[in-house]
Amino acid sequence: MKLRSLIAPLIAIPVVAVLAACSSGASAGGDATSSAHELKVAVVLGGLANDGGFNQYAADAAHALEKKGEITAQIRESVTTSSDAEAAFRQYASQGYDLIIGWGLDFANSVFTVAKEQPKAHFIATGSADILTKATANVETWTYASDQQGYLTGWVAGKTGLSPVGVVDGQLAPFNETTYKALTLGLKDANPSATELKPIFTGSWEDPALANQAAKAQIAAGAKLIVTGAEGYTPGVLSAAKAGGIATLGASSTSSSDAKAVNIGLVKLDFTPTLEEVVRHLQKGDFGKHSYTSTIANKGLIFADINQVGAAPGLPKDIADQVDELAKKLASGELKVPSVG
């Protein structure tokens, strides 16, 4: 799960969704007295809405609130350039959308550019932790705790009892370097005797053949569990794991037909609580200057798609309850995720 750039629709979200937005007649600036179901929300994605990863997390949140009757939503998929993003933001602002979300690291500058031109429109910009200080009167900002995402992934990996643990991913970059440092900490906290193999980064988010080769290399080196991501390359990892009789962690249940056989789950984002809070601010008329971080404690980061597979017999049957208990301890301050430095 990454705040991917537009270069490779990270968690591109399939579903060229055009969720018909029932016109509410609201102005671009919204109406503090409007009820939630009148709010029109546009989500602009760098990829597909059904990618099983980062892009889908935003689409799923919008769909969830739409099903509850709180908003109507429009999803714009596969926007891959800054100029196209800005055009989309301007379009939705001119059409009177109450909230426009630029979902992805490389959309941030475009969001702020258009927000200055459209001061009565409301936007959400997403990015790394530094974006939290950039909220304005008409732009709220969001990120997720990548250290906690990595820590929880490692913690669950440790709970499986499987070792050595290998990693196969697309690229090592600033946005996920912290994740992998924290993964090591979580793994050791849950299973001090666990060992790790040198991670393999193929350089491509979309090439399953390269990922398949990398996964086979990890298996040949002794990996009993491969940590990966929900990306275009993921089917290659899953097929190698199935053939090698080992487990994976981090793929989506929809990544490929092999996921059911080998993948024990993933730490995913739930953007729904944040979007609900943003909607409340719009309703109350106090939108602006707010920033949000999805964490384990606030259930913005959750362990999902839990799947008991034969290659991971040690995965606790109550792993979901154990994760909930961890979240409670983090929320209360009883525990803290170790600093990655």
pLDDT(264) > 70? yes
| pTM for the predicted model, two decimal places | 0.84
Domains and CATH numbers, the chain: 36-144+270-294 (3.40.50.2300), 147-268+311-332 (3.40.50.2300)
Mean pLDDT of the chain, nearest integer: 89
pLDDT for position 302: 94
- pLDDT score for 320: 94
The predicted-structure confidence for 210-230, as pLDDT tens digits, reads as follows: 999 999 999 999 999 999 999
pLDDT computed for residue 175 by the predictor? 73
pLDDT digit string, tens, across residues 72-93: 999 999 998 999 999 999 999 9
Residue 37, pLDDT above cutoff 50: no
Contacts within 8 Å (CB) and 24+ apart, 236-242: 236/207, 236/208, 236/209, 236/210, 236/211, 236/212, 237/168, 237/208, 237/211, 237/212, 238/262, 238/263, 239/208, 239/212, 240/211, 240/212, 240/215, 240/216, 241/215, 241/311
Tens-digit pLDDT profile for residues 181-203: 999 999 999 999 999 999 999 99
Q: Give the pLDDT of residue 252.
A: 92
Residue 38 pLDDT class (50, 70, 90 cuts)? confident
Q: In the numeric block, which tokens belong to residue 61?
A: 């949140």
